[in-house]
Structure 1
Amino acid sequence: MPILPLENVCFPPNLFVDERPFDPEHPWMVIHTKPRQEKVIARHLHAAELSYFLPLAKSGKPRAARVPDSFPPVFPGYLFIRNARQNRLPFQILDRAVRILDVPDQMTLDKQLQQVWWLIGGDQEVQREEELKPGDRVMIRMGSMAGMKGTLIENKGECRFVVSVDFIQKGLSIVVDRESIIPAE
Structure 2
Amino acid sequence: MRDSRRPPPPRPPVRVRPAPQVDPPVADDPLTGLWPRVSAVQLALDLTTAADRPRPGRPSPAPTRRAVAPRSARPPAPTVDVPVTATSEAARAAHRFVATCLEILNGHRPPAQLRPLTDPTRTTAVLEQLAAATSRLGPLRRRSTRPVVRLLRLRVCQPQPAVVEAAAVLAAPNGRSWAMAVRLERRAPGWICLVLQIL
Shorter-chain TM range is under 0.3
TM-score normalised by L of structure 2? 0.26
TM-score normalised by L of structure 1? 0.27
Determine which structure has the larger strand proportion and give its number: 1
Determine which structure has the larger helix proportion and give its number: 2
Question: Which one has a bigger Cα radius of gyration?
Answer: 2
